[in-house]
Structure 1
Amino acid sequence: MAITKPTPLFPTYTELAELNLSDYPQLSSFLDKQPTWIRQHWDWAKDYLLYIGRNKSQHTYVRFRNDIEKFLLWVFMVDKQPVDDLRKADILRYIDFCVAPPVKWISTQLHDRFSFKNGYFASNLKWTPFRQTPPKYDKDRVLDPKKYQPSLQTLESTFVALSSFYRHLIDEEICFGNPIPLAKRDCKYMIKDSQVKTISRLTEQQWQYLLDTAVEMADNDPLVERNLFVIATMKTLFLRLSELSERQDWTPLMSHFWTDEDNNWWFKTYGKGKKIRDITVPPGYLTFLKRYREWRGLSPLPSKGEQTVLVEKIRGRGGLTSRQISRLVQQVFDAAFDKMKSEQGVEAAQKLNEATTHYLRHTGASMEIERDRPLKDLSEDLGHSSSATTDTVYVQVERKRRAASGKDRKVQ
């Protein structure tokens, strides 16, 4: 049976909150041609995604939207059974589909779902539910959609989103059971990983190359002062990309730096789970803060109530988006990789070629662990719900001991 090309079902959260189907002619036409139960399912998913958008972060909305959209397209166009009739075996068939989707459902480029034209939101014919991307260190690799294979992490994310969706349907008394946990337990693709865990971080030498490169670039071009400030801030204050960027409900300001009665500096941020936390600011970081503020024509240190945007656009008003901040960091990663590769060799520099912005948070936290900072204090700065999370993610002391003891083995 031929499977037709899918159509996008849900826009961004802001657009979904204001959605009128008459403004989406192709989506409206697609739903009108379907049986009544399909339109009902779309409404269920819309209500669920609006709930996610209201109560979670923008990143969480996008992640869950992507997974629920894929699932519904499979339900509507392939399986053609209502979700409240699906059982464990059906979910496992869906996972089989996700592991090897039709080629026409896979794209090698990122495409927007809808474009605003002539007063309407037109569905993008190039959009697909699945996307194949090359590794960051090999961006020029030619991709073959026939060789698409999701990672274990991608499948894990799919199970999380679907289970959350079914729990919502149970709460709304639409479904009376959740088949996802049983399907995950019996899924042949969910391999238990007992291997050595590694953290996506830079070594001390790689970090020093990155920081030195950023300083050198800023010395030569004042506009790179922003790049330097972002890199120093994300690593030293363990910030996620979203915590430094402007969001619909939060704009990082200079006044979020503050001092207590003992003149200790802190930084207030709005993090994961919609939680505000205060992060300790070491004195050594203030040099970079002062340098950045001097470039912007501000006083050396922030004052109480200062409404200056923390990372400001050069043109226009307001703060930078996550994507814009990521580009600033990437510029320095690329330059540092080239510099370290020429001086130390490609093997020593490889992590700089692979690194993303999140490496900065992991690098800062890992270095704190290595200097024996109390786990509870670090956990508070990171915004983890418990010290156990910090311990699981970052503590690598035992692994290093194990590696050291293994070096004594003889071949003969």
Structure 2
Amino acid sequence: MYIDWIWSPPKTLIADTTISSRFKYRPNSDIRVVNPEWRPFVHRMPKANRKIESLIAPGKASSTKHAYKISQTSLRNSYASLNVFFKWLIDAELVMRNYLADAKKNCKYLIKVKIYQPPHTFDDEVWETFIQCLTVAADENPKFEIHRFVVLSLKVLFLRISELSSRDYYTPLFNHFRPDPSNEGWVLHVVGKGKKERVVTVPDSYIENVLGRYRESMDLAPLPRIDEDTPILPSMKTGKPLKQDSVNNIVEEAFDLVISTLMKSGKKQQALDIAGASSHWLRHTGATQALDELNETMLAEELGHASVKTTVEIYVAPAHRDRIRKGSQRKL
């Protein structure tokens, strides 16, 4: 019954923008009271629709609560949360066994088959548009230097957006760029997913055309010092290192510039293709292009994957490619 309820919740409990908590605090008090505006579900307009409506075809996109549908990921997360709850009930000796496995097995909504999903990437022509568009924007207005730097860094260095953002336990600093002791080139020290540290190689072309240019726009020397503790992404207003939401806004503004440029060039289909793009597309694009230059083991280390198998499954997918190639040759 609970799964049926979250699959098709009452429309009055669906918010348009953000989830509202079940309880809220009274003003100037530690007392919690029932929130009459409680909305445990939210139906946000997909990013692609928002971009289409604002940049590509105004008035064409729409979103209604009647179109609400829980995602497969959210459905699996709901089962995971229920599983934790049942384990607590068992430990408290309130129930004798966990029936959730049987319920999940017989769920009529859960899709159990997982198929290969290739990573989202920008094609070569669109990526060239990114470089040209952001370079022109930065040449005309220095405020876009940070947009150019962030987008090129995410793509060229295979970074997650969180890895350029300031967190409670870590702030990316310029002295995290440093020459490798081998004297073969520069590297960037990154603290990534799961607080795992890794070293990313930094191409000479990036040092010359991205890092050096960005630092000079900040009135800094082209190359960082080993003892330089300046944040890589400081706020233009306060100088404090930017959090992830602010970095994400920079990426979205950069994407908007590129979409507008594509529209002005009459490339509407390409603009539509990237309307729903996220910052992770940049990491995927860099990794996919790097397959021609790095073997799977090297690429796994650059990406911070714990296993080469993960890299192969995402970017190489030999079994999938072989099946598609063989399948395309079947006779009538």
| Shorter-chain TM-score tier | 0.7 to 0.9
Residue of structure 2 in register with 1:297 after alignment? 219
Structure 1, 331-340 or 182-191: larger mean CA deviation: 182-191
Structure 1, 335-344 or 285-294: larger mean CA deviation: 335-344
1:338 to 1:145, Cα distance in 2 relative to 1, 3 A: same
1:172 to 1:211, Cα distance in 2 relative to 1, 3 A: farther
Partners of 1:111 and 1:126 within 8 A in 2: no
1:336 to 258, 276, 280: 258
- Deviation readout 1:248-277 (Å, 9 max, x if unpaired): 111111111122222221111121112111
- Deviation readout 1:80-134 (Å, 9 max, x if unpaired): xxxxxxxxxxxxx322221111222211112565889854578765452211111
Residue of structure 2 in register with 1:105 after alignment? 13
1:261 to 1:175, Cα distance in 2 relative to 1, 3 A: farther
SS of structure 2 residue aligned to 1:310: coil
Give the Cα–Cα distance (whole angstroms) in 1 for the partners of residues 15 and 248 of structure 2.
23
2:306 to 378, 385, 394: 385
Residue of structure 1 in register with 2:72 after alignment? 152
- Deviation readout 1:278-302 (Å, 9 max, x if unpaired): 1111212112000110011111111
Give the Cα–Cα distance (whole angstroms) in 2 for the partners of residues 340 and 400 of structure 1.
31
TM-score (norm 1): 0.69
Tell me the CA shift for residue 310 of structure 1.
0.8
Where do residues 12-411 of structure 1 align in structure 2 (5 Å cutoff)? 93-110=1-18, 113=21, 119-120=28-29, 125-139=36-50, 140=53, 141-163=61-83, 178-193=98-113, 195=115, 197-263=117-183, 264-286=185-207, 287-343=209-265, 345-369=267-291, 371=292, 373-396=294-317
Structure 1, 322-331 or 335-344: larger mean CA deviation: 335-344
Residue of structure 2 in register with 1:7 after alignment? none
Structure 1, 305-314 or 144-153: larger mean CA deviation: 144-153
1:149 to 1:213, Cα distance in 2 relative to 1, 3 A: same
Give the Cα–Cα distance (whole angstroms) in 1 for the partners of residues 220 and 89 of structure 2.
52
Partners of 2:20 and 2:39 within 8 A in 1: no
Partners of 1:271 and 1:383 within 8 A in 2: yes
Structure 1, 264-273 or 138-147: larger mean CA deviation: 138-147
Partners of 1:107 and 1:130 within 8 A in 2: yes
Unaligned 5+ segments in structure 2 are 54-60
- Deviation readout 1:134-189 (Å, 9 max, x if unpaired): 12121254332233101222223333444456567778988775544443333222
- Deviation readout 1:370-393 (Å, 9 max, x if unpaired): x15211111111111211111122
Partners of 2:165 and 2:247 within 8 A in 1: yes
Partners of 2:215 and 2:221 within 8 A in 1: yes
Residue of structure 1 in register with 2:58 after alignment? none
Give the Cα–Cα distance (whole angstroms) in 2 for the partners of residues 262 and 226 of structure 1.
30
Partners of 1:202 and 1:351 within 8 A in 2: no
- Deviation readout 1:171-210 (Å, 9 max, x if unpaired): 8988775544443333222223455523222112111111
Give the Cα–Cα distance (whole angstroms) in 1 for the partners of residues 180 and 96 of structure 2.
52
1:190 to 1:226, Cα distance in 2 relative to 1, 3 A: same
- Deviation readout 1:46-95 (Å, 9 max, x if unpaired): xxxxxxxxxxxxxxxxxxxxxxxxxxxxxxxxxxxxxxxxxxxxxxx322
Amino-acid identity (%):
32
Give the Cα–Cα distance (whole angstroms) in 1 for the partners of residues 308 and 93 of structure 2.
37
Q: Which has the higher helix share?
A: 1
1:228 to 1:277, Cα distance in 2 relative to 1, 3 A: same
- Aligned residue pairs total 318
- Higher RCO structure, 1 or 2 (CA under 8 Å, sep 6+): 2
- Deviation readout 1:309-367 (Å, 9 max, x if unpaired): 11000112421121111111111211211222333522233232111111111111122
Tell me the CA shift for residue 399 of structure 1.
5.1
Structure 1 residue identity aligned to 2:193: K
- Deviation readout 1:10-45 (Å, 9 max, x if unpaired): xxxxxxxxxxxxxxxxxxxxxxxxxxxxxxxxxxxx
Unaligned 5+ segments in structure 1 are 1-92
Structure 2 residue identity aligned to 1:310: I
1:110 to 1:398, Cα distance in 2 relative to 1, 3 A: same
Aligned CA-pair RMSD: 3.0
Partners of 2:19 and 2:41 within 8 A in 1: no
Tell me the CA shift for residue 237 of structure 1.
1.4
Partners of 2:234 and 2:241 within 8 A in 1: yes
SS of structure 1 residue aligned to 2:265: helix
Give the Cα–Cα distance (whole angstroms) in 2 for the partners of residues 410 and 344 of structure 1.
39
